[in-house]
Amino acid sequence: MGVAGPFPSYAARPPGPVMDRDEADRALARLGAEHEAIETSLLALQDHAGRRLLEGAELTGVTKERWSATEQSITLLWGYFDAYAGVLNEAREVRARRRHPNREDLAALTELLRGDGVTVAHAAARPDPSITGPAKLSERFTLVELVNRMNELYARSLDMVVASDSVWSAMPARIDLLAAELRRTSSLAHSVGVRPGEHPSGDDLESITRELTTLRVQVISDPLAFWLPGPGSSAPGGGRPDTTRYDRAARALDEVRREIEAVLAVRQDAEQRLVQLRDVLSRADRTLAEARSARGEVLAKIAASEVPAVNGPPTALQERLAAASEYRRHAQWHRLSPLLETLERQAEEELLRAREQLTAVTAPLAVRAELRGRLDAYRAKVARHGLAEDPVLIERYDAARRMLWSAPCDLRVAEQAVQRYQDAALELLGQQRASGPEDRRGRP
């Protein structure tokens, strides 16, 4: 329920001569309107949902301390209001004596409306000095001072009530919604084997459950501990609930939910991923077998060359793949999920290493093939220029070819032979270009 704003201030004139009849009538009308506004605000505060909750709650901490002071403030407010109403009624009685008040009546009205004759006794309940200042048995006010004091106490009381009610309106409902989501996630996690003590996400769910339970109890008993006043705001209830702990728990639950979704995804496509893993490891095994076969060929056909050793088949990965299959067979999805991710990465790395070993082992054969191709290319080139029958080229070509097509082949010596043939071919081609063209009868 809404609460009316601060009480209207009594704009009395500075002390001066005795009021005339019109001034007294206007002041009484203004005070009557002010009395109604004050009463409306106090009744609204009395009926505020937050105040009723504070009265019935088992409070702790800062809320308990502030509510104790606020209760005294509300009691004082009603005492001040009664004193205010008493002066107003007395002034109305003086004014009602005569239609045209005499000077004595006007002097009495002036004293009541502008003087400091409003006395408030504190004998029944001594208020906290922090509320009224130094402890006194009674206080005297002018009506202006009394309204200012009521405005101050009202704003302070309303701020405490509205702040508490704002936290209670926002936080417990959000915590309950998150707790319901937590229960659904926990049930789903349990169905895929994610349990406390068996999986980190199970431990996280248990921790989040404890945190939400504790947070809700603390929010209910001490709402002001979760209130952040607005910077520079003097309006009652200016600020917002502090949701730091709630937000942290919500983020943690989101992380666990993503982990559970990953485990569920494993349950749905585990068989396909296991088939793909077997295929990758099979390709790696075949590549290594090809590399071992190629190494034997290289050792037989290439001389004076360092050929790296080839690793054996990835037996460790095969064993872990068998363990993954067992996890799938027994529906241990929470164990299968991280294992599959690791195996997929390691299988791809194993296939890459197998290919690198095959490339390293067959490198000498690739060098020999390149030398053969270069030798034949230059032979074709000199043949196009009519130099294929040159004795030097024939001799050097035959020497290079014997080295490249015999086993074992010494690549270093073969490369030198190919280079000699290449140099001789380039030299003859250069001489031919320098001698100039000839006609068909051989004349220059």
pLDDT at 2 (0 to 100): 42
For range 40-57, the mean pLDDT? 88
- Which of 167, 180, 173, 241 minimizes the C-alpha distance to 209? 180
Identify the weakest region by mean pLDDT among 14-23, 144-153, 309-318: 14-23
For range 408-424, the mean pLDDT? 84
For range 40-59, the mean pLDDT? 89
- List pLDDT tens digits, range 102-128: 777 777 777 777 767 677 776 444 455
For range 403-413, the mean pLDDT? 81
- Which of 93, 87, 135, 85 minimizes the C-alpha distance to 115? 87
pLDDT at 364 (0 to 100): 83
pLDDT at 175 (0 to 100): 95
pLDDT(284) > 70? yes
Which of 179 and 263 is assigned the larger pLDDT?
179
pLDDT at 367 (0 to 100): 85
- In SS3 terms, 246-310 reads as HHHHHHHHHHHHHHHHHHHHHHHHHHHHHHHHHHHHHHHHHHHHHHHHHHHHHHHHEECCCCCCC
pLDDT at 12 (0 to 100): 42
Q: For residue 59, what pLDDT band results from cuts at 50, 70 and 90?
A: very high
For range 433-438, the mean pLDDT? 64
For range 22-47, the mean pLDDT? 85
Q: For residue 413, what pLDDT band results from cuts at 50, 70 and 90?
A: confident
* % of the chain residues with pLDDT over 90: 20
pLDDT at 70 (0 to 100): 92
pTM of the model: 0.57
pLDDT at 232 (0 to 100): 61
For range 63-77, the mean pLDDT? 92
pLDDT at 1 (0 to 100): 40
Q: Which residue matches tokens 């502090």?
A: 242
pLDDT at 288 (0 to 100): 86
- Ranges of beta strands (E only) in 348-425 are 409-410
How many CB atoms neighbour CB 369 within 10 A? Answer: 12
Q: What's the CA gap between 153 and 326, in Å, rounded?
A: 72
pLDDT(368) > 80? yes
For range 399-412, the mean pLDDT? 82
Q: What's the CA gap between 2 and 274, in Å, rounded?
A: 64
pLDDT(236) > 80? no
281 contacts: CB under 8 Å, gap ≥ 6: 314, 317, 318, 321, 347, 350, 351
pLDDT at 122 (0 to 100): 62
Q: Which residue matches tokens 């400091």?
A: 116
| Contact yes or no for 219/172 (Cβ under 8 A) | yes
The mean pLDDT value of the chain amounts to 81
For range 149-155, the mean pLDDT? 89
For range 324-337, the mean pLDDT? 74
* % of the chain residues with pLDDT over 70: 87
pLDDT(66) > 50? yes
pLDDT(291) > 80? yes
Q: To 10 degrees, what angle do helices 61-95 and 103-114 make?
A: 170
